[in-house]
Amino acid sequence: MVASRDRGHSNNGSANMINNHVPTVFGVLVVLAALATPANAADTHIPERPPVATLGNVAEAEAILGAKLLVCNTCHGADGIPKSAATPIIWGLQETYLVKQLHDFHSGDRDSEVMTWMATALSQAELGPAAAYFAKKSWPARSAGAASTSPPALVGVCQACHQQNLAGGLPAPRLAGQRYEYLVEAMRRYAEGERTNNAEMMNIMKALSPAERDLMARYISGL
Ligand code: HEC
Ligand code: HEC
């Protein structure tokens, strides 16, 4: 009982702090708190519910984290298609990539105000199961109409790591079908040293002109 009250308070504290910055996040944290409260307060039929899932155990992660991860849908989309084109698709992204990003947001190695708050709403131990949860979902079907342009010469360089058709794999994440707005901004952030969680990507993007990055982003978003 005491533990659940403490948890409620810390959620409210976070919500108050973030309210000054991003109203959307405030709403999201309220949802988080609301989801957490009944689970804690209710006379649950599983009294010895483990607080975190075993790493790699997807079923357990879903059971424990399911409600908590619903909040991600607010921005990343209940059907896997984000509300805003500046928000990346995370359904069906490579699990290793998702784990790394969540850790990087958690530690601040990847700078994003919104995602730092979101990632730190999860415990270190919950990051792996959360990544598994989204990796297991299918990449959302693309809405028709995105005109695919002919491949820029540079695409061969990208495929060395991002794999055939930029579908991603162990070395690097899927890019194909991410939206233009997110891609072009991600590339700019690497190029201008704002996203610093991968030295190779920073070097590659620094070597491209803004026009080349724009062309790549347009091509990739049409895949
Ligand atoms: C308030 C909106 C919002 C919510 C809620 C949110 N995200 Fe995000 N997320 C973003 C934005 C915006 C970015 C892009 C950040 C950047 O590029 O710096 C992002 C990026 C990410 C990325 C990196 C994807 C990539 O392609 O690099 C992951 C992983 C992620 N979010 C997971 C989550 C998870 C898990 C949750 C729920 C715990 C969540 N997000 C909740 C807005 C949100
Ligand atoms: C040497 C391997 C390598 C090459 C070559 C490479 N990438 Fe990457 N790229 C990566 C890795 C690894 C990541 C994930 C970095 C991280 O941990 O955040 C990444 C991330 C990205 C992201 C961010 C994805 C996201 O969801 O946020 C974009 C965009 C991207 N690369 C575009 C490109 C493009 C365009 C090219 C070709 C011009 C390219 N990359 C070439 C390894 C590579």
pLDDT at residue 104 in the model: 97
pLDDT at residue 110 in the model: 97
pLDDT at residue 17 in the model: 44
What percent of the chain is predicted at pLDDT more than 90? 61
Half-sphere exposure of 27 (CA within 13 A, CB side): 7
223 lines ligand 1 (CB under 6 A): no
- Ligand 1 centre and the CA of 92: distance in Å? 14
Q: Residue with the nearest Cα to atom 14 of ligand 2?
A: 172
Is there a common fold for 1-140 and 142-223? yes
Please report which ligand is nearest the Cα atom of 198.
2
- Name the pTM for this structure: 0.81
- Ligand 1 centre and the CA of 119: distance in Å? 8
pLDDT at residue 37 in the model: 46
Q: Residue with the nearest Cα to atom 3 of ligand 1?
A: 75
13 vs 98: CA distance, rounded Å: 27
Please report which ligand is nearest the Cα atom of 104.
2
127 lines ligand 1 (CB under 6 A): no
8 Å CB contact between 104 and 110:
yes
CATH number belonging to domain 142-223: 1.10.760.10
Q: Which ligand 1 atom is nearest residue 121's CA?
A: 38
Domain ranges of the chain: 1-140, 142-223
Mean pLDDT of the chain: 81
- Ligand 2 centre and the CA of 105: distance in Å? 17
pLDDT at residue 24 in the model: 57
6 vs 62: CA distance, rounded Å: 24
In three state form, how does the secondary structure of the chain look? CHHHHHHHHHHHHHHHHHHCCCHHHHHHHHHHHHHHHHHHHCCCCCCCCCCCCCCCCHHHHHHHHHHHHHHHHHHHCCCCCCCCCCCCCCCCCCHHHHHHHHHHHHHCCCCCHHHHHHHHCCCHHHHHHHHHHHHCCCCCCCCCCCCCCCCCCCHHHHHHHHCHHHCCCCCCCCCCCCCHHHHHHHHHHHHCCCCCCCHHHHHHHHCCCHHHHHHHHHHHHCC
Q: What is the mean pLDDT of each run of 10 residues along the chain (223 residues)?
A: 43 44 54 48 47 66 76 94 95 97 96 94 92 94 66 92 95 96 98 97 97 95 92
* Per-residue pLDDT tens digits for 26-81: 555 555 554 444 444 444 454 455 556 677 676 765 676 778 899 999 999 999 99
What is the architecture, at CATH level 2, of domain 1-140?
Answer: Orthogonal Bundle (1.10)
pLDDT at residue 143 in the model: 62
| Amino acid at position 37, single letter | T
pLDDT at residue 192 in the model: 97
- Ligand 1 centre and the CA of 88: distance in Å? 7
Q: Residue with the nearest Cα to atom 39 of ligand 1?
A: 72
Q: Which ligand 1 atom is nearest residue 110's CA?
A: 18
